[in-house]
Amino acid sequence: MHMRFKLYIEYEGTRYSGWQVQKNVRTIQGKLLEAAKKIFKNEKVEIQGSGRTDAGVHALCQVAHIEAKSVLAPEIIRMKFNDALPSDINILEVEKTHQNFHARHDAINRSYLYQISKRRTAFGKNYVWWIKDKLDFNKMQSSAKLFLGMHDFVSFTDEDKEEKSTKVLIDDIQLKQDVELILVRIIGSHFLWKMVRRMIGVLVEIGRGKLSEQDLTKFLHSKSNKPAMYTAPPSGLFLEQVIYKDEKLNRDLIPTIYVQSSSKKNYKY
């Protein structure tokens, strides 16, 4: 009997060329399919994610669905997946779902978290974007509000044949300072290729004083190649949560790694 299962997945994306299967490169979806072949005895199975993540981007909770002929309990499937997967991909939970559930089509919102470090860090390099320049947090915070609502993000993405439209609804954007980190959370209906990283890059340039709110407004109203110049690195980006009907964001805006103050005054010997 074919069953459909919903997978909740976390991964450290540093070693991978993104979520989607591609020839001759290591991907998250590819590793999951390799594991699925072992679990379901080479039966042809498909794993569909809620959306693609770029090369080097992480996920705190990606959602996917898989349909397979199996009598195994969800918890056994979870354990078997984790036994077969590399240590930087982990299945958090597996649950049975209805046959019509689709991880991508049924998602209402996605939440992304970006982490900017204000100091060089020995431990957090893979999880932050370290910026040497002093950033004006208040300018970044006020400018970020311009992204709210429905906009054409054609200036913030590369041409992608799979996308029918470049219009995206941004429901919320939050910025917070946490010791040596600046955290940015963006919640939207969906996201285009490289879109979040270019939004972050433009906000950083505003924080540096190299761009203005007027520049950002122009990027949102007419096509420009400039945001591509400011694309933030993937290291600081996390797919935080995929939100479905009757669900809410279940996580406070907190960092995934703690970067303590670099001032000697704050150390106790």
Question: What count of other Cβ atoms lies within 10 Å of the Cβ of residue 125?
Answer: 14
pLDDT digits (tens, 9 = 90+) for 194-220: 999 999 999 999 999 999 999 999 999
Question: Does residue 258 sit within a domain?
Answer: no
Residues 92 and 113 in one domain: no
Spatial distance between the Cα atoms of 113 and 256, rounded to a whole number of angstroms: 9
Same domain, 199 and 122: yes
- Tell me the pLDDT tens digit for each residue of 48-76: 999 999 999 999 999 999 998 888 899 99
Alpha helices (runs of H) in 4-98, residue ranges in sequence order: 28-39, 74-84
Q: Which two tokens stand for residue 179?
A: 């010791």
Q: Which range of residues forms the domain containing residue 187?
A: 109-243
Biggest CA-to-CA distance, the chain: 64
151, amino acid identity: H
In degrees and rounded to multiples of 5, residue 103 shows phi and psi of -55, -35
Q: Do 159 and 186 have their domain in common?
A: yes
Whole-angstrom distance, CA of residue 231 vs CA of residue 81: 34
Q: What confidence tier does 259 reach under pLDDT thresholds 50, 70, 90?
A: confident
Domain end residue (candidates: 71, 97, 123): 97
DSSP sequence for 121-148 = -SS-GGG-EE--S---HHHHHHHHGGG-
Reported pTM: 0.93
* H helix or E strand, kind and range, residue 193: none
pLDDT at 62: 97
Q: Are 35 and 81 in contact (CB under 8 A)?
A: yes
- Per residue in 82-112, pLDDT (tens digit) is 999 999 999 999 999 999 999 999 999 999 9
* Residues 128 and 236 reside in one and the same domain: yes
Is residue 102 domain-resident?
Answer: no
> At 267, is the pLDDT very low, low, confident or very high (cuts 50, 70, 90)?
very low
DSSP-based three-state secondary structure for 215? helix
The answer on 76 and 118 residing in a single domain is no
Question: Into how many domains does the chain fold?
Answer: 2
As a whole number of angstroms, the distance between CA 94 and CA 76 comes to 9
Distance CA 208, CA 129 (A): 14
Based on the residue annotation, tell me whether 83 is a catalytic residue of this protein.
no
**Confidence label for 42 from pLDDT (cuts 50, 70 and 90):** low
| Residue pointed to by tokens 């939440």 | 111
Whether 125 is in a domain gets the answer yes
- Phi/psi of residue 221, nearest 5 degrees: -110, -20
- The residue from 54, 88, 106, 172 that is catalytic is 54
Residue 42 shares a structural domain with residue 166: no
Residue 155 has pLDDT above 70, yes or no: yes
Pair 45, 148 in one domain: no
Do both 122 and 160 map to the same domain?
yes
* 6 and 82 share one domain: yes
